[in-house]
Structure 1
């Protein structure tokens, strides 16, 4: 983990290095899009790349059925 000053938080080292490169090149990026972790929520789906699964939360399933 490395400290990324613009977001005032620790992020994975490779992600921090990529963001620093983007800053140097003037490539825009937004903090809410800089997700990381073992499971991610992407457009309402729970994505687990380690298990290679994508699931929809229970409430979202119920809303879809209605």
Structure 2
């Protein structure tokens, strides 16, 4: 169950940041290197898991994300 939740969170986060990158390129002609996008995705995942750490299903997700 926890793995499925982690996969859903990660997929949502990746889609969001790739879409954001696409919009920046199309509308602002600004590109970011893949390493920056990766760091943004990692930071958002950590923030999402940390903000929900008191919920039962999120308690061990950080360890799984860090693994």
TM-score tier by shorter-chain length is 0.3 to 0.5
Greater helix fraction, Structure 1 or Structure 2: 2
User: Which has the larger share of strand?
Assistant: 1
- Structure with the greater alpha carbon radius of gyration: 1
